Structures are given as C-alpha cells and as structure tokens.
Amino acid sequence: MTIKKITPYQILDSRGEPTLQVVMTSDSGKSASFSVPTGASKGKFEAIEKRDGDAPFGGKGVLICLDIINNVISPKFIGYPLDQLQDFDGLLIALDGTKNKENLGSNTLLALSGAYLKLSALENEKPLWQYIAELNKTSPEYPKLFANIVGGGKHAPGLDIQEYMIVPESTSPSVAISTIYDVYHTVQKIMKNLYGPSAMLVGDEGGLAPLGTSSEVILEALSQLNGKMASNFDIALDSAANSFYKDGVYNIENQSIHAAELYKLYQEWNSKFNIFSIEDPFAETDIEGLEILKGMANQEKPFLIIADDYTVTSKIKIDEFQKDGIFDGIIIKPNQVGTFTETFEAISAAKASGAEVVVSHRSGETSDSSIVDLAYGIGAIGIKIGSPARGERVEKYNRLLEIEADLDANQKKAAGSQQAPTGPAPILRDPAPTSQSAPPVSQDMPGAPVSSNNSSPQPVAQFQPPTSPLAQPKAAPTLAI
C-alpha cells in the first residue's frame, strides 16, 4: 500500500485557535486523519510550530503549513509505501534540516507523521494501540488516569498552580472514570457553595476554575473525598512553575518565595494531604530549584517528581537529566518533538532511565484521540487527558472506554470459543470491575447541598475549608476607576 493523496486543512483547536489537520489517503482508498494540539505553558526547548505571522487569526494561522504540504511534501511522498514510519519520519526530519523543526514546523511534521501512522494501522486492520505496541515491542497496559479536577496557571484564571489532579488507583477505565466523574461534580458543588457561580467556570483542560480560592482549600476538598468513591485515589499536581516564576522569584498565592521555600510549601502540602507526584515543581531556568532536585536524585522522595517542560519529549534532554537520575516520571507529548518516531525514542529513553512514562494532551486540543492509543499501546503508567468536561477531553475518555469495551468483548468471545484472542493480550493491572455503577454518595461526604435535581448526589455535611493562613483566598482584584 502506498500514499495516494495528502490533504491538509486549517481547522480550529479547543481554544478556537487555528491548527493543522492532515488527511492521508492510500491507493486502496482508505483515509486517516490527524490533527495537531498546541500548548500554552510550553517548555523552552519545545520544537517550533510554523504559523503565518500575519493576519488573519492574529498571525496564528497555519496556511503556510498547507503550502508546505501541497508544494514541498506531497510531490515527494505520493506513491511512498506505508508501514515504514521510521523511514517516513526520517525523511521529514531531513527535509526540515533543523534541530527544532523551525523550517517546516513541528505542527507540519506531526500532522504528517500522525496521519501516516494511523493510515498504516488502518491498512493493517489493527487498532492504533496494537499497531503501536507491535512497532515498539511493548506490552499494552491501561494507564492510570491523571485527571484534572481544578485548573489554574496559564489555563485558567485564579490559581497559580496549573493542575490539581486525582489519580484513581483502579486502572480499569470504567471504574477510574466513574471515580473522576464523582469527584469532579462533588468538588464543583463544594466550590459553588463556597464561591458562587464562578465554580461553574472551567479552564482550558476542563478543570474547575473557581475564583478566590487557594491550594489548601482545593487539596483539603480532594483529600476529604478520598475513600468515598468507587476507587481510592492519589492527589497529583502539575505546578508548571515556569508560569509563576519571574526574576528569580516564585509568586504564588500572595507570597514571593525562592525554590527552597517553595519546596517547603510542597512538603507541607504533602504532610497534610499526601501528594503522589508533582510535575515541573520548579521553573526549568531556576538553577536553585534544579540543585534541590539533583540533591534528591536517585533517592526515595516524599512525592514523585515528574518532568514536562524540563524534558520536552526529547531523547537528548531525557538522557541529559536522567544520567543524574533526577526525575521519577517523564511526560510525553508528541507535538513537543514533532514526529511519532522521535516520540517513541523519548519513551524508550525514559523507560531505560527507570522513569515512569505519562502520556499527555495539550491545553489546546483537537478531537484527535490518538494519545490514548499511544498510552495504552506503549504501556504508559499514566495519561493526562484533562477533566471529563469539554468535548475534546471527553473524546479521549470515550476512546479509553471504547478500547476497554472492545477488549472485554474480545475476551468474552475468546473465552466462549476457547480460542486465544488475536494480537497482544492486554495486561490488566486490576481485575475487571464487579460493578460499573457510580458509588453511593456517603452521608458524611463533604460538600455543599447544592443540587439542581433530586437525582444527583446529595452531599450532606458542609465542607469546612482549612483555617491555615496559607488557605486564605487571594484578595479579589479591584478595578481602578
């Protein structure tokens, strides 16, 4: 099978900003499409996206990528065989010829690489996750869901920390997702009771974005809900500390502090709320922060340290940091590097260093759900797909449910016919759930009795926000008249 046609489109992402979609068609008439996400809180060394730089769309259009694909790429790749991702990506990388993809653009390359990968899987009549697993010789495993419950930073107004997440212990997608659903909606009710209608705001990843709250209030609410849902869960943070670091100082919740004090704050949160992991705890340019991390390298830490902006899905960066064993987990985002081949190399480098792999969406997403197949196919320990709110995030939750349902059906069929299933057997870390219904909301569940109808959970006890000075909400901004 070969490439017959490559059709690029300028479409909009979840923030309504232009992005690139490529539809690739084979000579058998099958088509696959891939659309590229965009970050807001980016690492300094991410591969560079190509954008028009001129109106319309405030210069953010990607019509230049359409030109590149139509005039430079298509003439070279029509008739090119499928099923050779490494060679295909290698040619794209060589055509670009730069270290950071600034010539053709990481968005141009990723749209082509993704469409080629998906079309190859389709031609092989394999689900994408299976094709990826076979390509990488990995064992598929359900990832843990790092679900964004409350957002801040560059994704939402209000809080300085970018993401307050829960990580259900259950790796059964349906149990984990029902837990996330219950926590999300209960926290929303708590927030609505405490802060009024702003609790209905959501950030770029669907996380709740109440105004006038604090980290301690959010963490307290999450920790009080633990143990009361279908699955127990851990609490995880993505500080995305680049976004509140300026001139050598972290400006967080009315304090201006240095790395050592910020680390102390994390420790306090950990002792009160038991934090599982913190992503990008310091700014990538902060030497003091990096020294703190180096001092703890290869040791058991109070919480896992996860790298995103530090490592930007680059094998070179991962090797550089991991020779010192600095990170316990590495975030993988294909658009940080520009091709799937390089994404797979980054995953191998992270795994070889002993770090856990967490595949991630971007804050500006599309309806493409390939990262779910990627996470499952390469056996990532985790995946970040935001909140079960906003269509582009829900699309990814739904893909996970679809994979689970298909595998369950295959297993039942195989058990019925006493035949082994085809393709790599999924390795389930949890037994299949015995019940898929949402848990009863316990009578001592904290939260506000704000319910628009009688069939939704009725949290009874009033949630008590913590009284520590750190928990005091930020002063509301005043308008100068």
Binding site for Mg ion (CB under 5 A): 238, 279, 308
Which x/- pattern over 215-254 shows residues binding ligand PEP (rule: CB under 6 A)? -----------------------x-x--------------
Which x/- pattern over 422-451 shows residues binding ligand PEP (rule: CB under 6 A)? ------------------------------
Rg, Å, the chain Cα set: 23
- The catalytically annotated residue of 49, 123, 163, 205 is 205
Residue nearest to ligand PEP (CB): 39
393 binds ligand PEP (CB under 6 A): no
Helices marked H in 169-276: 173-195, 215-225, 259-273
Query: Nearer to Mg ion by C-beta: 289 or 446?
Result: 289
Residue 362 interacts, among Mg ion, ligand PEP, none and using kind-specific CB cut-offs from 5 to 8 Å, with ligand PEP
Query: Nearer to ligand PEP by C-beta: 118 or 362?
Result: 362
Q: Pick the stretch among 21-29, 360-368, 408-416, 472-480 that binds ligand PEP (CB under 6 A).
A: 360-368
How far apart (Å, rounded) are the C-alpha atoms in residues 213 and 253? 10
- 8 A C-beta contact, residue 247 and residue 286: no
Exposed/middle/buried for 438, CB within 10 Å: 0-12, 13-18, 19+? middle
Residue 205 is among the residues annotated as catalytic for this protein: yes
- 8 A C-beta contact, residue 34 and residue 370: yes
- 8 A C-beta contact, residue 397 and residue 177: yes
Residue 413 is among the residues annotated as catalytic for this protein: no
Q: Which residue has the tokens 């993704």?
A: 114
Q: How far is the CB of 204 from ligand PEP (least distance, A)?
A: 7
- Closest listed residue to residue 272, CA positions, set 226, 220, 227: 220
- The catalytically annotated residue of 118, 228, 333, 384 is 333
How far apart (Å, rounded) are the C-alpha atoms in residues 236 and 336? 22
Exposed/middle/buried for 236, CB within 10 Å: 0-12, 13-18, 19+? buried
Tallying the residues shown for the chain, one arrives at 481
Which x/- pattern over 88-107 shows residues binding ligand PEP (rule: CB under 6 A)? --------------------
> What is the rounded (10 degree) CA torsion for 225, 228, 230, 234?
40
49 binds ligand PEP (CB under 6 A): no
Q: Pick the stretch among 35-43, 72-80, 107-115, 131-139 that binds ligand PEP (CB under 6 A).
A: 35-43
362 binds ligand PEP (CB under 6 A): yes
- 8 A C-beta contact, residue 356 and residue 345: no
How far apart (Å, rounded) are the C-alpha atoms in residues 402 and 391? 16
Q: How far is the CB of 44 from ligand PEP (least distance, A)?
A: 12
13 binds ligand PEP (CB under 6 A): no
Residue type, 468: S
42 binds ligand PEP (CB under 6 A): yes
Three-class SS of residue 170? coil
Q: How far is the CB of 363 from ligand PEP (least distance, A)?
A: 3
Residue 373 interacts, among Mg ion, ligand PEP, none and using kind-specific CB cut-offs from 5 to 8 Å, with none
Annotated catalytic residues are 205, 333
Q: By the criterion CB under 6 A, which residues form the site for ligand PEP? A: 39-42, 162, 238, 240, 308, 360, 362-363
